[in-house]
Amino acid sequence: MHLLFLVLNETEYLDDILAEFLEIGIKGATILDSQGMGHALSNNSDIPIFGSLRSVLNSSKPYNKTVFSVIENEELLNKAANTVNEIVGDICKPGVGLMFSIPITNVCGLPKKTNK
């Protein structure tokens, strides 16, 4: 099992990504409103160095969405990553977002799979 994280700066793609996740077999995900550290610090005018970042960051979106989902296997994980890249164009482009996964060994609270 894997835990997929997607920090999406281009939030207009969120609905399309979630719809495609359902299509490929990802049945659940958690979506959080989030903000990058640079934006949070640039709002603190008491820190002079971060105040200078404000002009650079003002043109970008101050908030993003963080999506995370438990993925059953590596094949589905690869499908999810490919889905995100197809929808956003390329997650590696500056300002689009960040995606990574980590292996997990124990999950409690997910529905049990039924064998048919």
- Give Rg (Cα) of the chain: 17
Count other C-beta atoms under 10 Å from residue 14's C-beta.
Answer: 16
| Domain tally, the chain | 1
In this predicted model, what pLDDT tens digit does every residue of 17-59 receive, in sequence order? 999 999 999 999 999 998 877 656 665 555 555 545 444 444 4
Q: Is residue 81, in this structure, part of any structural domain at all?
A: yes
Q: Is residue 71, in this structure, part of any structural domain at all?
A: yes
Q: Is residue 112, in this structure, part of any structural domain at all?
A: no
Q: Is residue 114, in this structure, part of any structural domain at all?
A: no
List the strands of the sheet with 2-8, edge to edge: 30-34, 64-71, 2-8, 97-103
**CATH code where residue 72 lies:** 3.30.70.120
In this predicted model, what pLDDT tens digit does every residue of 68-82 receive, in sequence order? 999 999 999 999 999
Alpha helices in 52-106 (DSSP H): 54-57, 74-88
Q: Range of 29's domain?
A: 2-36+63-103
Q: What is the pTM of this model?
A: 0.78
Q: Is residue 51, in this structure, part of any structural domain at all?
A: no
